[in-house]
Copies of this chain bind each other. A is one copy, B any other.
Amino acid sequence: MFYIIGLGLGDPEDITVKGLNIIKQCERVYLESYTSVLCCGQEKLEEFYGRKLILADREMVEQRADDILEGAESVSVAFLVVGDPFGATTHTDLMLRAKEKGIKTSIVHNASIMNAVGCCGLQLYHFGETVSIPYWDDSWKPDSFYDKIVANLKHGLHTLCLLDIKVKEPTLESLMKKKREYMPPRFMSVSEAADQLLQIVAKKSDAEAGVQPDQQNEHGLSENTLIVGLARVGHDTQQILACSLSEMRNVDLGPPLHSLIIPNGQLHPLEMEFLQQFAELKQQIL
């Protein structure tokens, strides 16, 4: 049997009892390490489970999936994923490969950022399409996520923005060499995301003569749009902050992972009341 087990939001105790029992009786246990990140670290997990884990980076999962699945027709193999098993396309692919080989599969679900964002009080069924905000570099500044945010606003929907994660990315120079060298891991912060959004707002304002960045054009964003920053959701050190887009640029919510929400313009009174408690913290954090 091949198990894909969600670890939830990242404390070792966030695993379900079902998941923990399976891990204890598996022959091999892999820990996926590149689509999300473990706040607690591999050692703490190994200590909690009382066993060794095999780290599975992108190269292993995408190029050596056969190794991971080896023998799973007859022995139990587990593949651990931060959040829920179906958060990333790669894991769907792994399930299909297992089925092709006639290996039985089983899923153990858990919380993921996709449902845990409800902790800020915005109702999950008022969310539209989720977007990803990628790191920009000098030559590559994609902004198609902005149009999706605007489409959600137009329909009165909140947008969850997942912020980029770069883990074990080979350096450009090392791609030419025999020995791969890797860049240090990077996790986009809410202030970096806000900065990129503000650059897009400024560009759109330039394009539409007469619209200043502090004026919201219909359904678009402006410097004054209320947004919500979330850090380390589900952890003891969780932080949530509701402030304007331009204020968010100057905020430090601490260590990863961060997410951003663009709420719709017509908050339900209960959503508004719940958000207010996170707006009051603003002065302490800025």
Taking a contact as CB atoms closer than 8 A, the residue among B21, B130, B234, B270 that contacts A92 in the complex is B270
Contacts of A157 in B (CB 8 A): 128-129
A126 in the interface (beta carbon within 8 A): yes
Chain B positions within 8 Å of A14 at CB level? 16-18, 109
Chain B residue numbers with a CB within 8 Å of A89 are 123, 270
Q: What is the size, in residues, of chain A's interface with B at 8 Å between Cβ atoms? A: 54
Question: Which A76-121 residues have C-beta < 8 A from chain B?
Answer: 84-87, 89, 92-93, 95-96, 99, 107, 109-112, 114-116, 118-119, 121
Task: Assess whether A109 is in contact with B9, with CB atoms less than 8 Å apart.
Answer: yes
Pairwise interchain contact B17-A92, C-beta atoms closer than 8 A: no
* A124 interface contact, C-beta 8 A: yes
A234 touches B107 (CB 8 A): yes
Taking the closest CB of chain B, its distance from the CB of A148, in whole angstroms, is 8
Contact of A234 among B109, B124, B274 (CB under 8 A): B109
Quick one: closest B residue to A107, CB to CB?
Answer: B119
User: Which residues of chain A (235-285) have a CB below 8 Å from chain B?
Assistant: 270, 273-274, 277
A81 to chain B, nearest CB (A): 11
- Whether A110 and B110, one on each chain, are in contact in the complex, defined by CB atoms closer than 8 angstroms, is yes
Contact A92 B121 (CB under 8 A): yes
Q: Report the nearest B residue to A155, measured CB to CB.
A: B151
CA distance A125 to B113 in the complex (A): 12
Q: State whether A15 touches B17 (Cβ < 8 A).
A: yes
Q: Of the candidates B21, B92, B118, B121, which one forms a contact with A84 in the assembled complex, judged by CB atoms under 8 Å apart?
A: B118
Asked if A11 is an interface residue, CB under 8 A from chain B, the answer is: yes
Q: Can you offer 26 A-B residue contacts whose CB atoms are under 8 A?
A: A6-B111, A8-B16, A8-B109, A11-B18, A13-B18, A14-B17, A14-B18, A15-B17, A16-B16, A85-B118, A86-B116, A86-B118, A86-B121, A87-B124, A92-B270, A96-B270, A99-B277, A107-B234, A109-B115, A109-B233, A110-B110, A114-B124, A125-B129, A125-B131, A128-B128, A128-B129
Which 3 pairs of residues, A with B, have the shortest CB-CB distance? Answer: A86-B118, A109-B111, A13-B18
